[in-house]
């Protein structure tokens, strides 16, 4: 069995010493850097915008995994691409014309992912999952770091794995929210490909070692 992809979440970083955190990510076994962009409308919080992310992108050597928790994410495809983003991820709940948005992301040269909130069933992706590079399941309600993992995510993950297998999709399964060594092991065993970890990584005494442990679950 292949090792999980680890994507530390920038939302939990120390923004007064961001350079040190990014340098630790660069020298770690982290595969990607997960970036949550929030608008205060779709989620009850505001994170960071493109002026800050420009410098993060210039300093980080890992592929960028950009998660837009915003309404009308298609308006910012060019800005996300401008960061050198590898994966652009939009919420199912904010995209009434999801197929069009996925095609626009791919036409811009990025991989395309779709996120589902905890109460959104995986069945809504039946007609689009074959076009996706990744599906992100939120295992907390989006907007804030440090929340407790929702156990139902494990059942949802199994449903998503069945849907992906049944449709011949090659989409990766990413989980975001409350991921630590304990929940991460359960998720990997249940079929998760990518783990997003925020506090578990950035609040650890040794970030690099924690990423190593997550990588070897």
All residues at 6 or more sequence positions from 193 whose CB lies less than 8 Å from its CB, including other chains: 4, 5, 172, 173, 174
From the list 31, 36, 65, 133, the catalytic residue is 36
Question: With 0-12 CB in 10 A as exposed, 13-18 as middle and 19+ as buried, what is 170?
Answer: exposed
From the list 21, 31, 133, 176, the catalytic residue is 176
The secondary structure of residue 132, as a DSSP letter, is -
Report the distance separating Cα 217 and Cα 145, nearest Å: 22
Phi-psi region of 93 (alpha: psi -120 to 50; beta: other; left: phi over 0): alpha
Q: Is 31 a catalytic residue?
A: no
Q: Is 36 a catalytic residue?
A: yes
Give yes or no for a contact between 189 and 154, defined as CB atoms under 8 angstroms apart: no
User: Which residues are tagged catalytic?
Assistant: 36, 176
């Amino acid at each position: 069995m292949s090792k999980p992809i680890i994507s530390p979440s920038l939302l939990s970083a120390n923004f007064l010493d961001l350079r040190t955190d990014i340098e630790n990510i660069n020298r770690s076994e982290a595969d990607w850097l997960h970036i949550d962009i929030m608008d205060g409308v779709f989620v009850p919080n505001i994170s960071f915008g493109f002026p800050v992310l420009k410098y993060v992108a210039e300093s980080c050597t890992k592929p960028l995994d950009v998660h837009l928790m915003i309404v009308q994410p298609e308006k910012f495809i060019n800005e996300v691409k401008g960061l050198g983003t590898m994966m652009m991820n939009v919420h199912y709940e904010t995209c009434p014309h999801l197929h069009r948005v996925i095609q626009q992301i791919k036409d811009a040269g990025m991989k395309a992912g779709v996120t589902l909130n905890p109460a959104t069933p995986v069945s809504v992706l039946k007609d689009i999952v074959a076009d996706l590079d990744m599906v992100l399941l939120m295992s907390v309600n989006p907007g804030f770091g440090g929340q407790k993992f929702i156990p139902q995510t494990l059942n949802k993950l199994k449903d998503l794995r069945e849907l992906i297998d049944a449709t011949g999709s090659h989409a990766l399964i990413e989980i975001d929210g409350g991921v630590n060594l304990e929940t991460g092991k359960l998720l990997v065993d249940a079929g998760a490909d990518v783990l997003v970890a925020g506090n578990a990584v950035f609040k650890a005494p040794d970030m690099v070692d924690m990423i190593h442990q997550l990588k070897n679950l």
